Amino acid sequence: MIKGIIFDFDGLIFDTETHQYHILQEMFSEHGSELPLALWQNEVGTDSGFSPFHYMEEQIGKQVEHALLEKQYEEKFLSTLAQEKARDGVEDYLRMAQEMELKIGLASSSSYRWVSGHLKKLGLFDYFQCIRTSDHVEKVKPDPALYIQAAQCLDLAPENCLVFEDSAHGATAAKRAGMGCVIVPNKITSTMDFCEVEHRLDSMADMPLTELLEYVASVKINR
Residues in the chain: 223
Catalytic option among 10, 15, 143, 166:
10
Contact 118, 14 (CB under 8 A): yes
Angle at 86 between CA 215 and CA 171, to 5 degrees: 45
Residue 156: count of CB within 10 angstroms of its CB: 20
The CA–CA distances, whole Å, from 119 to 68, 80, 122, 130, 141 equal 28, 16, 5, 13, 20
Q: Is 8 assigned a catalytic role?
A: yes
The CA–CA distances, whole Å, from 104 to 67, 86, 162 equal 39, 17, 10
Helix (H) or strand (E) holding 83: none
Q: Which residues are catalytic?
A: 8, 10
